[in-house]
Chains A and B, each alone.
Chain A
Amino acid sequence: MREFNYYRAGSVRDAAKRLGAGGNAMLLAGGMTLLPALKMRLNEPGELIDLAGIDELSGIKLTRKGAHIGATTTHAEVAGNVELRAAVPVLPHAADAIGDPQVRNRGTLGGSLANNDPAADYPAVALGLGATIFTNKRKISADDFFTGMFETALGRGEIITQVLFPIPQRAGYAKFPNPATRYALVGVCVAQFKTGVRVAVTGAGASVYRLTDFEDALDSEFSEVALDGLTASSANLNDDMHAGAEYRAHLVGVMARRAVTMALD
């Protein structure tokens, strides 16, 4: 890693000010993706602004609107939260599927969303549940948030503060992990709301996306049978040494069915 300055921010406002002050600064949350990326010199920031000391960014709260989760809440905290397990089990289930225990002990929700790795788990759940991402400047719906591979709608100087996940009637998340990295080769989140079903896919394409024909089929009947005969298109899917596009398309169908089974369980 190239040398950089380390700064521990005392508040969101402090972090934003520092971020805007030039000096090629980047935000540091759990560091589970950023630090390995810096070791590979994929980025060479002049300063890392650590958000870990900002209490207001961390925590889990359930209200009538849904589950409010602070940006620096770790995967382990989400996975182990008893209230979430009762109200919206798909969230702790997905958080528990990320990486390994040590990664879950430090990695954060906000970090995962801001990074938008094409094979990350949280983007699928955020899009599948139709989450709202709150920043220090505005709120962004998940449908508008994930804009491309490692790209989001976040602007310069914008910091995720919390995420609101609406509570579905039922939901599931099924993932086929890459055996080496534990990232999703393909992961599918299926969520049923009074207003309709949402299906979001990670790992398969350049960025997380919705599968509208699966949504329509599940809207008419929420069961595995409703997906009979439906296949996902392999057009524009990732095609690399881990898996070909055809195989990924096949996995999308399998994971979607498993997610429905989990939702119905």
Chain B
Amino acid sequence: MDATVSFTLNGKNVSAETTGATLLVDLLRNHFGLTGAHVGCDTSQCGACVIHVDGVSVKSCTMLAAQADGCTVETIEGLAANGELHPVQQAFHEHHALQCGFCTPGMIMSAVDLLRRNPRPSEVEVRDWLEGNMCRCTGYHNIVKAVRAAAVAMGEEAS
């Protein structure tokens, strides 16, 4: 039942042998060594595994590797460009939006998707959007602050 899947991974064309039931998050972690997407729950609740497929955020624990065939996949590892943190990463760092860091890759990938759709979200909009991302440490306040600060920074960068 092995099959080859090919997709664009953080800008590079890649292929791998996989089975029908292999989850995308497992292929990323075990085959490609990209361990930024975490498996917190494996039941689509926690959002630690959030990545982007074809430009939108998805839970990679609830997607088959085979479903990604032909798609564009971006993970947290692809976010920083030329050694510089992405503005959302930078804002998480500055606003102390992480403690243990387990939820952080998923939080950031989810927030990046939000800011693409809504460049200036209100606090309520940020909280609503992060519905599917759980954090056991921070209490969310600094995460929300960081996302809104990133929005401002990205707005300035663009202008």
Contact = CB atoms under 8 A, between A and B. Distances in A.
B66 interface: yes
Interface stretch (B7-15, B30-38, B41-49): B41-49
Contact of A6 (B44, B50, B66, B133): B66
B132 A100 contact: yes
Nearest to B128: A101
A1 B21 contact: yes
A6 B64 contact: yes
A236 interface: no
A6 B63 contact: no
B110 A52 contact: no
B69 to A, nearest CB: 7
Interface residues of A, number: 27
Given A31-B67, A103-B59, A182 B131 contact: yes
B62 A31 contact: yes
Interface in A10-29: 28
Which residue of B19, B63, B66, B67 has the most chain A CB atoms within 10 A of its CB atom? Answer: B67
Q: Which secondary structure characterizes the binding site on chain A? A: mixed
A29 to B, nearest CB: 10
Contacts of B69: 8
B44 A5 contact: no
B129 A101 contact: yes
B21 A105 contact: no
A196 interface: no
Nearest to B71: A52
A3 B66 CA distance: 13
Interface stretch (A32-40, A82-90, A150-158): A32-40
Contacts, number: 76
Contacts of A48: 20, 64
A76 B132 contact: no
A47 B66 CA distance: 13
A102 interface: yes
A4 B1 contact: yes
B21 A101 contact: no
Which residue of B47, B62, B132 has the most chain A CB atoms within 10 A of its CB atom? Answer: B62
Contacts of B62: 31-32, 35-36, 106
A78 to B, nearest CB: 14
A246 interface: no
5 closest residue pairs by CB, A with B: A100-B132, A6-B20, A6-B66, A100-B131, A1-B21
20 contacts: A3-B20, A5-B20, A6-B1, A6-B3, A6-B66, A6-B67, A31-B62, A32-B44, A35-B44, A36-B44, A100-B47, A100-B133, A101-B57, A101-B132, A102-B50, A102-B59, A102-B110, A102-B132, A103-B59, A105-B56
